[in-house]
Amino acid sequence: QVQLVQSGAEVKKPGASVKVSCKASGYTFTSYGISWVRQAPGQGLEWMGWISAYNGNTNYAQKLQGRVTMTTDTSTSTAYMELRSLRSDDTAVYYCARGELLGDFDYWGQGTLVTVSS
Amino acid sequence: QSVLTQPPSVSGAPGQRVTISCTGSSSNIGAGYDVHWYQQLPGTAPKLLIYGNSNRPSGVPDRFSGSKSGTSASLAITGLQAEDEADYYCQSYDSSLSGPAVFGGGTQLTVL
């Protein structure tokens, strides 16, 4: 069965960076892309960006350009999302989700809470 | 402010039918891009409910259905059950700088 398992919760200070991992299993990793979606406390879903696990092509949300980097390691079927220059409003649950750029997200990770606080 | 507009909340009694609207524009739904729907139960990750406007993934009850017309889409839930109480989100593609993937603001469904 398809599974996306994310790394554990993080607490970071403003200005720091965080890197969240998403390990895939149960399917051919390079056959699908991975999107990252975040959800601030009590708020809705916000798409952050997408990476092709086939060739590493990326597409980031304009508001995060310059602060976010998405990568994959095909040898371990793991996707990564790094967010830099963290601010308090980056506090959110971060999800990885399987899917193509123009399509739906059919499987989701369990979420990783990132708290940014001084 | 979300690119796709959903009502903040809807409610219905067990057994009733409710609909949740998702209103977009000519740069997303109206441009012909597919709409997908997700259900998020409290404290859990979203789950794909409807894809490609009206298709249900395996395991999703046929009480859930989706439709799309013009610049809007709708999710209908018939035979409302207590376990349907959740947040529902629509998602599509947007060709403006807001995208490409965009979500609605979400609708909280309360089963009375």
List pLDDT tens digits, range A20-51.
Answer: 999 999 999 999 999 999 999 999 999 999 99
Residue A104 in this model has a pLDDT that exceeds 80:
yes
Q: Which residues of B touch A106 (CB under 8 A)?
A: 48, 51, 57
Would you call B97 and A106 a contact, using CB atoms and an 8 Å cutoff? no
* Residue from A4, A1, A111 nearest A53 by CA: A4
Q: How many residues does chain A have?
A: 118
In the predicted model, what is the mean pLDDT of residues B7-16? 97
Q: Name, in order, each residue with C-beta under 8 angstroms of B109's C-beta and a sequence gap of 6 or more.
A: B9, B10, B11, B12, B18, B20, B77, B84, B85, B86, B87, B88
pLDDT in tens, A43-73: 999 999 999 999 999 999 999 999 999 999 9
Residues belonging to chain B with any Cβ–Cβ distance to chain A shorter than 8 Å: 2, 33-34, 36, 38, 45-48, 51-52, 57, 89, 91, 93, 97-106
pLDDT value, residue B100: 87
What are the distances in angstroms from CA B95 to CA A36, B24, B25, B32?
19, 12, 10, 11
Would you call B38 and A45 a contact, using CB atoms and an 8 Å cutoff? yes
Question: Phi and psi at residue A72, in whole multiples of 5°?
Answer: -135, 155
Whether A37 contacts A50, CB under 8 Å? no
pLDDT value, residue B98: 67
Would you call B36 and A105 a contact, using CB atoms and an 8 Å cutoff? yes
